[in-house]
Amino acid sequence: MSMSSPDEKLLLQEIREGSNSAFATFYKQNFAIIKSFVIRYVKCSDLAEDLSQEIFIKIWEKRSNIPELDSVRSYLFVIARNHTFTFLKKAAAEQHLKEHITSSLLTSATITEDHLISDEYARHLKMMIGTLPSQTQRVFKMCREEEKSYNEVSRLLGISKDAVKKHMVRSMKILKPILSGLFTF
């Protein structure tokens, strides 16, 4: 990078003192160079333009702190690089955060959807069990809901193990076709 000319040093001094016209001249002389520099990092012309404008706004806002410089361009490139890297770090962090939130929402939505389907399935199953003959209902509930063995149900209801088996076959013949067609996607 070349050394600052006396004109650049004078221009910076006027900017430090708050001269709008000096800043406008400085902006016109350097904006395209800074935008070209920034675009190498962000690969998007509109974004590079926005970031470059932010860089010049930052310079204007901190004009009273501009040091005596040997190279104005070096100073500009350092500010541009730092501002662009800060932006890219924030964008990467936000993207990671967005992905995490989206993933969590999708997982939550899936769990909620699964829960709703499960609840709907349980309601429909309960309704269908209610259509079974009363003894078949008792056998089905004891075997499926209470997880009792055929022998236990036989003993508790005072019926044979074969009778328990027949009630279960009857209930499954009635319930299976209805429930298998209920949730086809």
pLDDT, averaged per 10 consecutive residues of the chain (185 residues), comes to 68 92 94 94 90 95 88 89 90 71 58 62 76 88 88 93 90 72 47
Q: pTM for this one? A: 0.52
State the pLDDT at residue 113.
Answer: 58
6-98: CATH topology is Rna Polymerase Sigma Factor; Chain: A (1.10.1740)
pLDDT score of 184? 45
Q: CATH top-level class for 130-182?
A: mainly alpha
Report pLDDT for 110.
57
The whole-angstrom separation of Cα 45 and Cα 36 is 9
Tell me the two tokens of residue 17: 């003192």
The pair of structure tokens assigned to 173 is: 């013949």
What is the domain partition of the chain in residue ranges?
6-98, 130-182
| AA identity, residue 118 | S
Q: At 12, phi and psi to the nearest 5?
A: -65, -40
Helix intervals (H) in the chain: 6-16, 20-42, 45-61, 72-129, 134-140, 150-157, 161-182
Two structure tokens written together for 20 = 């709008």
Identical fold at 6-98 and 130-182?
no
